[in-house]
Chains A and B, each alone.
Chain A
Amino acid sequence: MRKQLIAFVMGAALLLAPAGRLAAQSTPWIHIHVQEQGEKASKVQVNLPLALVQAVAGVLPKDVAGHIKEGKIQLHNTDLTVADLRRIWQQLRTAGDAEFVSVEEKDQRVRIARQGDRVRINVDDLSGKESRVRVEVPVDVVDALLEGEGSELNIQAAIQQLQNKRGELVQVQDGETNVRIWIDEKS
Chain B
Amino acid sequence: MTPLKAVLIAALVTPLALAAMAKYVIVDVREGGPEGTRLIVPVPIMLAQIAARFAPQEVRHLRDPELAGQMPLLRVVARELQQVGAADLVRIEEKDETVSIVKSGGDLVIEVAEPGEQVYVRFPVAALEQIFENSHGDCLHPAAVLGALRETSGELVHVVDGDDEIRISVW
Task: Write the residues of chain A forming the contact surface with B, with a CB cutoff of 8 angstroms.
Answer: 29, 40-49, 51-52, 55-56, 58-61, 187
Please indicate the chain A residues that have their CB under 8 angstroms from the CB of B92 in the complex: 42-45
Main SS of the interface on chain B?
A: mixed
Question: Are B73 and A60 touching (Cβ within 8 A)?
Answer: yes
Asked if B93 CB lies within 8 Å of chain A CBs, one says yes
Please indicate the chain B residues that have their CB under 8 angstroms from the CB of A45 in the complex: 88, 90-92
**Which of A42, A46, A58 is B90 in contact with, Cβ under 8 Å?**
A46
Please indicate the chain A residues that have their CB under 8 angstroms from the CB of B90 in the complex: 44-47
Main SS of the interface on chain A?
A: mixed
Please indicate the chain B residues that have their CB under 8 angstroms from the CB of A51 in the complex: 80, 83
The A-contacting residues of B in range 66-112, CB under 8 angstroms, are 69, 72-73, 76-77, 79-81, 83-95
Interface pairs A-B: 9 shortest CB-CB: A187-B87, A52-B80, A59-B72, A43-B93, A42-B94, A45-B91, A55-B76, A59-B73, A55-B80
Given A45-B92, A51-B83, A187-B88, 6 more contacts at CB 8 Å?
A40-B95, A45-B90, A46-B90, A49-B80, A52-B81, A59-B72
> In the complex, A58 Cα to B72 Cα: how many Å?
9
**Which of A46, A56, A60, A187 is B85 in contact with, Cβ under 8 Å?**
A187
Interface residues on B, range: 20 to 34
Task: Write the residues of chain B forming the contact surface with A, with a CB cutoff of 8 angstroms.
Answer: 69, 72-73, 76-77, 79-81, 83-95
Which residue on A lies nearest to B94, using beta carbons?
Answer: A42
Which residue on B lies nearest to A33, using beta carbons?
Answer: B91
**Which of A44, A47, A60 is B88 in contact with, Cβ under 8 Å?**
A47
> In the complex, A48 Cα to B95 Cα: how many Å?
24
Please indicate the chain A residues that have their CB under 8 angstroms from the CB of B73 in the complex: 56, 59-60
Question: Are A43 and B91 touching (Cβ within 8 A)?
Answer: yes
Given contacts A48-B89, A52-B84, A187-B86, contact A41 B95 (CB under 8 A): yes
Please indicate the chain B residues that have their CB under 8 angstroms from the CB of A55 in the complex: 76-77, 79-80
Which residue on B lies nearest to A57, using beta carbons?
Answer: B76
Please indicate the chain A residues that have their CB under 8 angstroms from the CB of B79 in the complex: 55
> What's the nearest-Cβ distance from chain B to residue A3, in Å?
15
> In the complex, A44 Cα to B79 Cα: how many Å?
25
Please indicate the chain A residues that have their CB under 8 angstroms from the CB of B95 in the complex: 40-42
> What's the nearest-Cβ distance from chain A to residue B150, in Å?
27
> What's the nearest-Cβ distance from chain B to residue A10, in Å?
13
